Structure 1
Amino acid sequence: MKTLTTRLLLLLLTAISRLSWKNLYRLSDTFRYLIFNVGKYRKAVIVANLRNSFPSYSDDRIRQIASDYYQNFTDIIFETIKMITSPKSDLLERFDLEMDLLNYYYEQKQNLVIMAGHLGNWEMLNLVASAKLSYQIIVVYHELANDTFDDWFRGFRTRFGTEMVPMKNAISKALEPRDKPFLFVLINDQSPVPDKAYWTHFLHQDTGFFRGGELIARRLNAPVLYMGIFKDRIRRGFYRAYFRLITENPRLEPTNAILQSQIEQLEADIMAQPDNWLWSHRRWKHRRPADRRPPNLFPNQQRQTTRSE
């Protein structure tokens, strides 16, 4: 019965994906009202996250950001559904992809590690990048509990050649030999296991981040770029992605410096467009373990750093 229900749901989602963009956003507006105004989906989590992140903002400002986020949340859901059947040309028109750094490193035949957060429609950018770039796109993702839905989701994510890699296989896949340069993309601003996280101050709060991006960058010794996504304030469903160099030589950087640089750039982007981030996630549900003391180095790393100095 569970499999049948899942398959019926997938048929419904495919049917929705064939709607025009105009009708799709009408449906998004309806769901926004039902989910947030009627169902009050995680409204307490969203408002608490916003108040803790922006303690100097007035209640009116917090409510406005929350309201804008509700629209952003449902828009991304329905834009993602639309990508199941959207032609390549349609998606390419909706994303202004900054290419200068990517083209430069591709000419040098260099692999790149891309570090990002949950800004804008990252799912749409995945398809746009794999359709537009010469690089092999490799994206690290969390597998879904429902195998049928996971297969379906992975199917449209790989429509234009992206390779999806489960997080548990990230390092081994990063080290595999390949025929052409690749972009290894990691979104690391979820809530990690506290004992394995990198802890820092982020949006006025003690926050843990996944460390895999820096670990993989050091293993590959490949240039690391930060990727930011801004949404168009005028045209609904249009975005711009940009890239900034963090380092060309990861192994020469101090421990956690790559992560800290990415986190600071992500925080600046959130401050610029606060409704463009994923506020409904319970990102601050964990507390920093007592042995993760400043400067946020693990004990063995701290001893190594002291010896090297």
Structure 2
Amino acid sequence: MQLVVYILVYPLLWLISRLPFKIIYFISDGVYVLLYHVIGYRKKVVRNNLALVFPEKSGEERLGIEKKFYKHFCDMFLEMIKTLGISDNQMKKRYVFTNVEVFQKLENEGKNIMIMMPHYASWEWVFSLNSMVKSKAYAIYQPIQNKYFDKLVRDIRSKYGTTLIKTYESRKIIADANKLNKLITVGIISDQSPMLQRARHWANFMGVFVPIHVGAEEICKSHKMIPVYLKVKKVGRGYYQASFKILAENPNEVANYKVSEAFMKETEKSIREAPEYYFWTHKRWKHKDKVPKDFQKDTSKAVNC
């Protein structure tokens, strides 16, 4: 059945990827009407999230953010498909790295790099960085259930040479690369809500006390990688600017969880600048009422991100 669905859908995706951007965004506008006004995809989740983290905003203001988010959400989905057919020149114009010299300096110093990203603006086109750097690039991702679409996503994201690795195999692959003294860059999206039973640290994110992921920080400390935040701004429809910010020059000299907290703080800054570009369909704050009792007692652990 998975193969049948793939065979039926793939030709349409391929065709869309060959269309000019004007037509792609025309299609996106139609998808927005269907997704938001007809289906109402995860509308309740989005509204609950916005009400939770923006209690100071009026209902009308939050509704404006909601609608802008769904339009961006549809744009980004179509942009991901367009990656199949986008030219190198188009990509360079539409996804600009404003300070790639920061990244290149770390490479020239022989440093391995961990790029930490949130679900914000666009993370699909960050893979174009590969054409400007010399390190071997990996991206940690969660596989899709349909193995055929999973392969398609891997093909799209590896267009510029990035190797996608599953979460459970990432630490071994990074360790093996280090043993061989390979210069590597690893990209990871770190703003999701961790599984409650695996949560090791809690912090205030957007004013709500929640567990946060610390895996990227642990990898950095174990393998002497430099954690770098990728800040992405949407400057126009289909146009983005990305900049690098080093979170810690020497992560092993930083107290535990401070790198993860710094990442969440930068993520919150991005969200507050333009909230419509965050991925509000995720249940990011679903564990807000499940704080461990021992954590509640020790208020010194409550860190504002």
Q: TM-score, normalising length from structure 1?
A: 0.91
Corresponding residue number in structure 2 for 1:191 = 193
**CA–CA distance in 2 between the matches of 1:149 and 1:223?**
32
**CA–CA distance in 1 between the matches of 2:92 and 2:250?**
32
Corresponding residue number in structure 2 for 1:217 = 220
Corresponding residue number in structure 1 for 2:119 = 118
For residue 229 of structure 1, report the CA deviation from its aligned partner: 0.8
Instruction: State whether residues 2 and 147 of structure 2, in contact with CA within 8 Å, keep that contact through their aligned partners in structure 1.
Output: no
**CA–CA distance in 1 between the matches of 2:90 and 2:181?**
29
1:146 aligns with 2:149: no
CA RMSD, aligned part only?
A: 1.6
After superposition, where does 1:88-237 map in structure 2 within 5 Å? 88-97=88-97, 98-126=99-127, 128-177=128-177, 180-197=182-199, 198-232=201-235, 235-237=236-238
For residue 296 of structure 1, report the CA deviation from its aligned partner: 4.3
For residue 291 of structure 1, report the CA deviation from its aligned partner: 4.1
Corresponding residue number in structure 1 for 2:41 = 41
Q: Deviations over 1:86-125 (max 9, x none)?
A: 1222111111102121011111121111212111110111
Structure 2 unaligned regions, length at least 5: none
Q: Deviations over 1:243-287 (max 9, x none)?
A: 111112111111111101111111011100101110011112223
Q: Describe the SS at the equivalent of 2:41.
A: coil
1:268 aligns with 2:231: no
Instruction: State whether residues 193 and 212 of structure 2, in contact with CA within 8 Å, keep that contact through their aligned partners in structure 1.
Output: yes
**CA–CA distance in 2 between the matches of 1:7 and 1:189?**
33
**CA–CA distance in 1 between the matches of 2:191 and 2:181?**
30
- State percent identity of aligned pairs: 27
Instruction: State whether residues 114 and 224 of structure 1, in contact with CA within 8 Å, keep that contact through their aligned partners in structure 2.
Output: yes
Corresponding residue number in structure 1 for 2:248 = 247
For residue 15 of structure 1, report the CA deviation from its aligned partner: 1.1
For residue 180 of structure 1, report the CA deviation from its aligned partner: 4.5
Instruction: State whether residues 31 and 74 of structure 1, in contact with CA within 8 Å, keep that contact through their aligned partners in structure 2.
Output: yes
Q: Deviations over 1:48-69 (max 9, x none)?
A: 1011111111111111111110
Structure 1 unaligned regions, length at least 5: 298-309
**CA–CA distance in 2 between the matches of 1:226 and 1:100?**
14
- Between the two proteins, the alignment pairs up a number of residues equal to 294
Corresponding residue number in structure 2 for 1:54 = 54
For residue 80 of structure 1, report the CA deviation from its aligned partner: 0.3
**CA–CA distance in 2 between the matches of 1:291 and 1:84?**
49
